[in-house]
Structure 1
């Protein structure tokens, strides 16, 4: 549709152009067809459209001319070429001036071919259009003159110049004005602008009437430009250009059709008159076009700068050499003060240390001298008359010189104040934090260093230097591996770099320069910076030499009997199971020997425990002498010892048993009094015999030991093939016999009181199983050991739990807050049937949370840790509390603590009994107390048998005490009468 409109307009313009030619001449006042051709071609978007439009521009004028007069083919072509060169050729030439290339690459798919003139933004585009017209139009008019010559008419320079001016007027008045109107930035014209436009248009019409009707002096015609300047400086470009075109159009009408006005004085010289009118048209349109676009650009630029300055949070000011200040935005008014004459002046500044800034060093004065000042941190001097400022303000001040056109020295300076108060205080806090971190780093009690990815020390603190024996500053640049006696640390460093934030642990021995070998716990961690790149490796070094020594001591004491130095029950059972299972795999035989000292109790009763202890130590030495270095000798407790003989046959085992019996007899024969009566009884079981019977060798050895004692002591008994031996009481404890005893209810529970040390009150009790002597002539301990060896621990535990919860119900009737603890073996911890029974009994009897405590006795390792955890979690949901019994004397107390969750720790009695006289026992108990406190557990001291032990327990801060000094185990009725009724009466009295 656009091209149709331009095509029609072009045809009409060609007809109109030829109709306004002065009679007898070849000159017209204006040639609008050229202007339309230029405007049309610069709107083309593709080359093929441009070519089509050019062809149309070429064909229409000669076709119309041939219709109204006869012209030769040559003249026909020359007329077409004249219009083609004067019209479509201007656009490419402007493009040549602008870019020196013909087409914008990015516009190949549909943008304009002539983007530089398709929208007139600046006056320079008008100038380029004018220059291109002055270059192209003279060339095109050469074709016109050639056509005139061929037609036989005369030509002159005046005609040539008049033709050029004619086409130039058409390009400026039509193409320039049209493009400017189409590309104007301001399109939403206000009502006020329309009113002003109507007024200035009316004034122009009146002025033109006065000039062209009554005036006859040519210069008077240029008075019509006064209203044009008004509209160009005040109205939008569209209205200003329309005003210019309107003015030239009315003036042309007055001259050509009315024949009046200043230009009529030249009516005798048509060429001069045409040239004068054409110059008038060009000047009027250029005035409107150039001035209006310039003003529009300036206004838009000012508006943009004002909007930009208003949105900048920083204060922007301009200062001249006379010291006059111009605040650019609102923020800037806060940084200036008014002098007595009402002019703005800069406020005083000072350094951040409070020193007043000298005038010569002020940023504005430096900028006026031609310097550029960047981010100078200064403090604003408070105005003593301004009470609104209650805090210090810091500014980052930048200044740059401003050179106006023609100035060799800066006449102005641009000042930018950025409020850096928050940043200043943040930096101060950051500096303080950095100083604090540095202080902590340097004075940390532990060794701290940063390493690069190769393990080289970047920084080290004083504690690390003291640990290694080298000044910290001399450690920089050295590898930490230089002081490590074991394998290198690169593996840990690589792991820390691969997983930033993860803590990597390693324990190493460090050879200090002073020759001391220290055990050090190392931790490695890498942090990431803001760029997410891993930073240096931070390493912490803690001297754990003493802790390691204590740990080794505790580990040794946990595995060895404190009195004899032999391995204890826990360690022996572990080693024995390894040998026994290994022997089964390798099909090699071995023997287990259980040894018991006869008449040992008499020694303790008559001569005292110290003599008994000496006897046990001597006996341990005798046992070591009677066995090989590869054999294992252990003490199970009291006067009961055990030996395992790997890789031996029946003959070797029998010889060892006989050697032990004879050595004890000979050693004791020379001793006085009751010591002479001390002998040894030994039970010997071959591994092969135990395997063939499918019975635990400990059970068989136990039976044979009692058989030897029953046969008169001072002898050994060996289980031989096909021989079961005599039936002692313990030997009757087969699996079926034990099951029958449990089913008959031959076990009863007695209650032993447990004292809360801080209050002196009986807080809870422990239920202890007691066997009925009428059932079998063995002790309860022997019976329970036999039960566990037979694998019937869960059955025994379920029997005890049923009775215990019934007792708990009775106890809480007397005292509602009373609690009861019951023992559970490692075999039961994780057993689904035991867990189900406890849950059911707790719900059945409505046991309150925390009232039932289960003591886990670590007599054997947990076979299924995850099952044990499920067992504990399930019962904890029912309010059951777990305690770890005999801590330090069982299978592996530390592993139990790590694997399960306990709220109570019962310290093994062997450490409690000895801590009054033995510093090692006291240290062990103290370390256990510290462990319990760190983990939030309460503690119970077992075997509190004297007032001295109770005082030591109180001193150490142990929570509860249990033992014969507190009270022995008694039946339920006696317990209530002795401990609960008295306590209840006491509470009522209070």
Structure 2
């Protein structure tokens, strides 16, 4: 306290009672002179029990030896100490347990006597909050497993130790299969409970020394230090899959969890944490491509494929933005008259660096990288512009374009398509959407509503690759499609194999029963054309009549086909080279 006029001792004691923190006054011998009510509540004693007792009784047992020497040093050279200067201090409660506190020190006087004043603050809530924050920094709150940050630190440290010792490390990256359907179908609370269950199952399947972490969402990781051999981590992967994939029930909710696992080794597959995680991710996606519910071990070929995919994705994005793609058109003919009734638009891409890129290759990249919406919009816009241009030339030609399941899932797909038709003044009946059976059967109610909406505006609809999917007769009956396109695999052997001919007749008969126009694609020979015409197939498409050609070549191709159709003595068409 200041050297000015000192307060009477009774007033000092009264003021101590007004302080919300605990306060102790100690003499030079380390004995307690007095304490306020807050300190008594904090320590569990009465003032009579503390008065005259050594301060050491309020210290944890391990802190008591040597404490008297500290008191002597303090009184020999008094120096105030602010709150928080010494961390992790504890007061010893009367009931024999520690209480987290913070302590500041100062001096007061009673007459001629110098006394020490200790302000003792209850730090239990603050310390608990700090410990909770430390725990959350190291652990995932939902599952109690290690957090992504902590796992990254452990992996980095283990890699340093591995380089020193020459020991091998194995990293397993685990991603639950189709976990989104659990959240969507049962709710996030059920999804969270499943994540907890999966975490418990994996923890039980691993050794105590194996590090298991939840990286976020439905992704987990396991670090195996010094595995016995290269086969050991694969055995762990099999064990984890068996544990994860057991059926699970929560209340009235049932789920059949599954997982895909990528396995990498250090240092063979990477010498730093980022490289290992990236390669484990590649291996995990290879497991998903293999059918899910399995594991894959990383190899260098995966990295090359990923690099190739990244290159393809980047160049495809630029091709879409720079209008470097092209549509070629293949004619579709009336089987009876031989006249052209429409064309199918087929994507073509010739890249300056990659050369001719097959559609199957770049469409798959578009679907997996999120470019499918931009690609689909480009196709719709290009096809509509071409229809408009042909109309100015006096050519009213129906154009069919292929639509993927990803486009059908886009909420704004129908609105954008109809807007494009209106903007370019294209009659909806001149645009046909070809949808595969698989796409039509995905989210059936939503897809059917979308197709009915488009059909109601006059857009033509065709079911592509008919016979290769799993649509039921009931769905086919209700589907608002006007054409069924028979897959080319049913056409190739119809003139050589009786079984193929029977299947083709059955498909044509089914289409007729359902009141649909049936289109055969992949027609390559006169014999196939004759068979299909005799069996009542409505429309034909294939190399026999012409390959897909650029838009500027279509008028000449159609004129040639029309001339051939006008010659009654000509029984068919020669295959075009």
* TM-score, normalised relative to structure 2: 0.47
Name the one with the larger strand percent: 2
**What TM-score, normalized by structure 1, do the two folds share?**
0.29
Between 1 and 2, higher relative CO (CA 8 Å, sep ≥ 6) is seen in 2
* More helix by percentage: 1
> Whose Rg is larger?
1
